[in-house]
Amino acid sequence: MNKATRFVKWFLWDRFNLHGDAASPDESIESFKRNVDFKGTNLWILIFAIFIASIGLNVNSTAVIIGAMLISPLMGPIMGFGLGISINDFQLVKRALRNLAVAVFISICTSTLYFWLSPLSDAQSELLARTSPNLYDVLIAFFGGLAGVVAGTRKEKSNVIPGVAIATALMPPLCTAGYGIASGQWSYFLGAFYLFIINSVFISLSVLLIVRFLKFPRVSYINDKERIRVRNYIWIVTMLTLLPSIYFAYRQVQKNIYQKNAQRFIDTEMQFNEATLLRQKIDPNQRTLELVYVGIIVPDSLIEVRKLNLPKYELVGTNIRIRQIGITDSGRIAQLKASLTKEEQGTELTKANAERIQELENQVKLYQETELDRRNMFLEAQAIQPKITSLALENTIFERAENKSDTLQLVYLEFSRKLSAPEAKQLQTWVEARLKTNKFKLITEPDLP
């Protein structure tokens, strides 16, 4: 038994030993210190990398963002700060903090300038991904930092550090913070800057743990009172950084659960045979479902009955907003023709009925021509505005006050993302010119500015 235990211990030590290929502590410390300062070449490289990352976020290009993160030298002062704390080199701590502050200030100013000048103002998915940090970002920063410092203390350097720079994403949050300032959206600035703080704190913490584990020599020795005070500061900063991320992670999990429950409710309860669900939007924050149907109008009474099942899907308090677009001409014609055909089966068609059928055939022909025109209109609309993904066109009767009614053309458009004000104006002008009338109602998703 003792022999087996010794073998297991030897096997684990042999496989997981961090001391075997480690560089000398002095070499590792000198390597970390070289990357702390931000001046001259490092500073210019940082500015160029910030511009590249900002462009990548602006045009939603993941490849460009990754390239910028590989260039960025931001990791140096963060790891230098963790090293200084772990070996009691408080001159190094001050130097790292000073250089990190300079790097952060330059980065935010550069990205703010870029986004202030850029004609592209939409917040893309890559940019939005940096505005809501949570516990998972903490784990990425911590384990990424562990990988980085382990690689940095080896005799032979590897490509781990660039990988850590990509995984922990130090620079995109600073670019997003600049976007928040340039666009006046302070929630973006706060969320992105908090993500940068998470990355910085937990990378530094991982450096501290590995350096202490490897027992690097300390520059100075402090008394127990001072040591306890430093340790308490570290724990306070760590917990202040960690606790909000736990809350945000909890909220993210709750949102995901809500979205899954809402999707199950829509798939099971809100499907109707004679009405097609054209669009759906689930908003976990506001606890709302927005549903757009095309087809025969679904009675409110039926919808209310379906809403009674919300508690079964843990959706109590959910507000359902439904927009219905009336049945299409093709549907009306098909229904009428089917009913007439069934009614006349087995009987001799009278002249009046024959005329009704003929009129119906003429309506079908007119509809087919209208359907072709609708398709052409969709292709023209996409050529003018590529963000258009769907188009519906319908003659509709609007009931007005005082027993008045009005026939308008209803135009429904869906976009891949929200239009700018000039784009919306151009589109409205084109619709009016294309329909050759100003008697139309334009409905869009998302709404026009």
Digits of tens for pLDDT over the chain (449 positions)? 577 777 667 666 767 777 777 778 888 888 888 888 878 888 898 889 889 888 888 888 888 888 888 777 888 888 889 888 888 888 888 899 999 999 999 999 999 999 898 877 666 666 766 777 878 888 888 888 888 788 778 777 666 666 666 666 788 888 889 988 988 888 888 888 888 898 889 988 998 888 888 888 887 766 777 778 888 888 888 888 888 888 888 888 888 899 999 999 999 888 887 777 878 888 888 899 988 887 777 888 788 888 888 988 989 889 998 888 765 444 454 554 454 454 444 444 455 555 555 555 555 455 444 555 667 777 777 777 888 888 877 766 666 666 666 667 778 888 888 888 778 888 888 888 777 777 777 888 887 77
The token pair at 278 is: 């054209």
Question: Same domain, yes or no, for 190 and 286?
Answer: no
Whether 348 maps to a domain, the answer reads yes
Whether 268 maps to a domain, the answer reads yes
C-alpha 393 chain-centroid distance: 32
Question: Same domain, yes or no, for 191 and 89?
Answer: yes
Whether 238 maps to a domain, the answer reads no
The partner residues of 411 in beta bridges, in order of sequence, read 393, 442
Question: Same domain, yes or no, for 289 and 345?
Answer: no
SS (H, E, C) 215-226: CCCCCCCCCHHH
Q: 99 to each of 75, 92, 273, how far by Cα in Å?
A: 11, 10, 65
Question: Same domain, yes or no, for 190 and 84?
Answer: yes
Question: Same domain, yes or no, for 216 and 300?
Answer: no
Q: 443 to each of 50, 250, 278, how far by Cα in Å?
A: 40, 37, 13
**Are the beta carbons of 123 and 182 closer than 8 angstroms?**
no
Q: Phi/psi class of residue 403: alpha, beta or left (left: φ > 0; alpha: ψ in -120 to 50)?
A: left
Count of alpha carbons within 13 angstroms of residue 144, beta-carbon side: 25
Handedness of CA 28, 32, 33, 39 (dihedral sign): positive
- Residue-level pLDDT at 112: 93
End residue of a domain, out of 166, 196, 221: 221
The token pair at 231 is: 């340790």
- Residue-level pLDDT at 249: 82
End residue of a domain, out of 161, 191, 221: 221
- What is the pTM assigned to this prediction? 0.63
Q: Give dist(CA 181, CA 341) in Å, integer.
A: 67
Question: Same domain, yes or no, for 172 and 267?
Answer: no
Q: Please give the tally of structural domains in the chain.
A: 4
Question: Same domain, yes or no, for 350 and 290?
Answer: no
Q: 140 to each of 66, 143, 198, 339, how far by Cα in Å?
A: 16, 5, 10, 64
Phi then psi dihedrals of residue 28, to 5 deg: -65, -45
The pairing of strands 440-445 and 404-415 is parallel
Whether 169 maps to a domain, the answer reads yes
